[in-house]
Amino acid sequence: MKNDSNETKKPLNFIERIIEEDLASGRISQSVTRFPPEPNGYLHIGHAKSICLNFGLAETYGGQCNLRFDDTNPAKEEMEYVESIKKDVQWLGFDWQGDIRFTSDYFDQLYTWALGLIEQGKAYVCDLNQEEMRAYRGTLTEAGKDSPYKERSVEENLALFEKMRAGEFDEGACALRVKIDMAHPNMQMRDPVIYRIKKVAHHQTGDKWCIYPSYDYAHGQSDAIEGITHSICTLEFEEHRALYDWFIANLPVPSTPRQYEFSRLNVNYTITSKRKLKQLVDEGHVDGWDDPRMPTISGMRRRGFTPKSIREFCDMAGVTRTDGIVDVSMLEFAIREDLNTNATRAMCVLEPLKVTLTNYPEDKTEQLVGPKHPNRIELGARSLPFSREIFIDQDDFRESANKKYKRLVIGKRVRLRNAYIIEADEAIKNEQGEIIEVKAHFIENTVGKNPEDGIKAKGVIHWVDAKQHIDCEVRLYDRLFTEASPDVGGKDFLSCLNPDNLRVLTGCKGEMSLAEAGQDDHYQFEREGYFILDAKEKHVSIRVFNRTIGLRDTWKK
């Protein structure tokens, strides 16, 4: 139809194209993907891309996406992370069909298959220690050489592997390896270890095992067991694909999944290294994994990002195999776009300056109104008490200024948002010469209309009634780092921490409607930015608001 040709469809990414081809050719009847986090830390913005990709594919192709915890290393993994990961995935708006899976669910099957490999003479127990094994592996440019234990008999290997399983060896004493090719140009194929001894309790299997399968030995087989059709991972696993395929080809697995790699998400002025993120937490540079400055999903949630904005951002960034660094401005655009259309408007004076309207009756208070959203009046209005004394922001007043300054200046007029036009008369200063109050007068009959004398106001500023308001604390966050790539090379990322990444403002004055702010209510403090109640400080009597992101500011003076 004409409509179709006019509509600009979003082009498919390479994985979507592959799936459509597989669906069309009949290779698969339904797509099955999985998001396979290791429960050893908190999810961050980079994981969000993988989540959106894998679960998104299930949504668009009517397929399935499993949530599987890749828990093959009990020394690093904890149940606490399992819970936080589940919460984050759901918060992002995705759900997994059926139960949560664990690679550990397949430990018995994996073990049985390993026995089969030994019986076929394709695996052996190797007694080389780590240093020796490294030496035998060769280098990037030199072939490795066979382990002296490679030719043990099937019976001996079986017996040794059983002893490993039974806990008769110490950690590191030996490991089960698969026989491939010590001279293979792909290092991953030089007889990789598939089982190692770890005398550590596992959060799912307890102390049932003291030997654990390696990632390479477990991942593809787990995919096969679950009927995963497209096993999507990041680029650094590319050379593991040959190994992945080797296991699928050499084991009696129930299906033949295929691995595809895409480039991970990098954002400038941000780090996503778990190690470095942990360092920020441990050394107290931030308050915790969910500190609003952190690029973790929990941190972004607390900061006020919405699931929709994060999904939109991931969608904008695209899925390719090109290494790149996305500009944070794209993330900032995504959250502003969502909040601009959905956040309730309110006024909040961050750094108060009292203004007394000398011609306004001392005992009078009138209830003015402002729309909750200027472009969506159907959302209703909020009541704005107005009286003789109000607060405006210190930045919105100057004794004198050039024409570019569109705020309150002595002898000049300015519009109070949703209220009267006022004109400043005098600045009252303290002994230090600081302005502590402004005397002004209001122009009658200017609510919702221009002055009858035809002299319009040149700007609009926000304000809050001096008697009826709520006191609150506002936290302004800025980027954590001053360098676009704090994460590169051997650079000390801590040396580029932004000293101004947090500004705490106390004594802020918010309009009365803010007293009703709930945990999931996003606000736009007009002329300031988007804010949300801090989830961790909700018990405090003084409300604490986090700035999610400022408004776009094109005012250059």
* 11 touches RNA by CB under 7 A: yes
CA distance 168 to 159: 11
Residues 199-218 binding RNA (CB under 7 A) are 212, 214-216
Handedness of CA 107, 108, 109, 112 (dihedral sign): positive
CA torsion, points 48, 53, 57, 58, in degrees to nearest 10? -30
Strand partners, 193: 177
* 120 touches RNA by CB under 7 A: no
Query: Segment contacting RNA (CB under 7 A): 55-63, 184-192, 498-506, 514-522?
Result: 184-192
* 318 touches RNA by CB under 7 A: yes
Residues 516-535 binding RNA (CB under 7 A) are 524, 526-527
What is the nearest approach in angstroms of RNA to the Cβ of residue 538? Answer: 25
3-class DSSP state of 387: strand
CA distance 546 to 532: 5
**Selected binder of RNA within 20, 22, 156, 238 (CB under 7 A):** 238
Using the minimum distance from each CB to RNA, give the nearer residue, 28 or 331: 331
* 240 touches RNA by CB under 7 A: yes
CA angle, residues 529, 531, 533, in degrees to nearest 5 = 165
Give the type of residue at 550. G
* 149 touches RNA by CB under 7 A: no
Residues 77-106 binding RNA (CB under 7 A) are none
Pairing of strands 502-510, 408-409: unpaired
What is the nearest approach in angstroms of RNA to the Cβ of residue 7? Answer: 12
CA distance 491 to 52: 31
Residues 342-381, one symbol each (x = binds RNA by CB under 7 A, - = not), give: ---x---------------------------xxx------
Q: Which residues are catalytic?
A: 38, 264, 274
Strand partners, 34: 66
Burial of residue 460 (CB within 10 Å: 0-12, 13-18, 19+) is middle
**Selected binder of RNA within 27, 208, 321, 491 (CB under 7 A):** 321
* 232 touches RNA by CB under 7 A: no
Do 477 and 287 form a contact (C-beta atoms < 8 A)? Answer: no
Determine phi and psi for 424, rounding to 5 degrees.
Answer: -80, 140
* 221 touches RNA by CB under 7 A: no
What angle in degrees, to the nearest 10, is found between the helix axes of 215-226 and 107-119? 110
Using the minimum distance from each CB to RNA, give the nearer residue, 132 or 506: 132
* 553 touches RNA by CB under 7 A: yes
**Residue with structure tokens 């980027």?**
479
The set of residues, in sequence order, having a beta carbon less than 8 Å from that of 113 and lying 6+ positions away, is 221, 251, 252
**Selected binder of RNA within 21, 97, 134, 503 (CB under 7 A):** 134
Using the minimum distance from each CB to RNA, give the nearer residue, 47 or 286: 47
* 554 touches RNA by CB under 7 A: yes
What is the nearest approach in angstroms of RNA to the Cβ of residue 358? Answer: 21
Do 555 and 541 form a contact (C-beta atoms < 8 A)? Answer: no
Residues 476-515 binding RNA (CB under 7 A) are none
* 239 touches RNA by CB under 7 A: yes
Strand partners, 441: 423
**Residue with structure tokens 């360098």?**
483
* 539 touches RNA by CB under 7 A: no
Number of residues that bind RNA (CB under 7 A): 94
Residues 386-415 binding RNA (CB under 7 A) are 404-407, 415
Do 431 and 418 form a contact (C-beta atoms < 8 A)? Answer: no
What is the nearest approach in angstroms of RNA to the Cβ of residue 343? Answer: 9
Query: Segment contacting RNA (CB under 7 A): 56-64, 150-158, 237-245, 291-299?
Result: 237-245
Pairing of strands 464-465, 389-393: antiparallel
Residues 434-473 binding RNA (CB under 7 A) are 446-449, 459-460
What is the nearest approach in angstroms of RNA to the Cβ of residue 431? Answer: 29
Using the minimum distance from each CB to RNA, give the nearer residue, 364 or 404: 404
**Selected binder of RNA within 31, 50, 66, 72 (CB under 7 A):** 72
